Amino acid sequence: MATQRSIILASSSPRRQYLMKEAGFTFTIEKPDVEEDFPATLPAEQVARYLAAKKAEYFRLKMHDEIIVTADTVVILNNTIMNKPQDRAEAIKMLSDLSGQTHKVMTGVCILSKEREETFDDTTEVTFVKLTPAEIEFYVDTYKPYDKAGAYGAQDWIGMVAIDKITGSYFNVMGLPIHKVYQHLKNW
C-alpha cells in the first residue's frame, strides 16, 4: 500500500519487517536507541503500549515528514511479564512455566508523525500443550529464542507442535497486529 509520506519501521525484528512487507507497505528501518524498561508499578496490560510509545518518542525531535511505526510485544502469564530471556536457563524456565498454560500476548503499537500520534494494542490468548523437558531443551538449543518475549516464536517449531489454541490474531503473536496497523495507516 503506497502512502504519500515515507514510513520508518522502528524495529529490527525480522518478523515485523516481513509482516509490513507482506501487507504491501514500503518502508525503511531505523532502530530506536532506547532501553526497554518500564516502571515496576505499571500494570502488565499497559507495558506494551508504554514501550511502543517510548520507542516512538526517540524519533520525535529528529522527525521531518515521515511516519514512524514502533511496536513492542510482551508475554503475560498470571499477570507477570515475561521479557526476552537473558540466557538458556531463563528461556527453559519461561517455557516450562508456559507449558500446559494459557497466557496473553500483547503488542503495543505507536504511529507518530509531526502532527499526530496514535497508540493502540492487541491481545491474543495462547494455550500451550504440556511440553516435556526434552522438547523445551530441543527448542531452546535449536532455535535460540533469546530475541523473543516469552522465549518462543509462534512461527517456529514450538508454535507448530506446542500451541494448542490461539484466540485472537496469530500475527499479533508474531509481533505485530498487522490488521490493525493496516487500518490505522490507511487513515494517514
From 37, 65, 72, 147, the catalytic residue: 72
Q: Are the CB atoms for 104 and 167 separated by under 8 Å?
A: no
DSSP state, residue 41: T
Record the cell numbers describing residue 12, joined without a space: 529490527
Q: Is 37 one of the annotated active-site residues of the chain? A: no
What does the alpha-carbon distance between residue 115 and residue 92 come to, in Å, rounded to a whole number? 44
* Residues 6 or more apart whose Cβ sits within 8 Å of residue 41: none
Distances (CA, A) of 60 to 6, 66, 68, 113: 15, 11, 9, 8
Residues acting as catalytic residues: 72
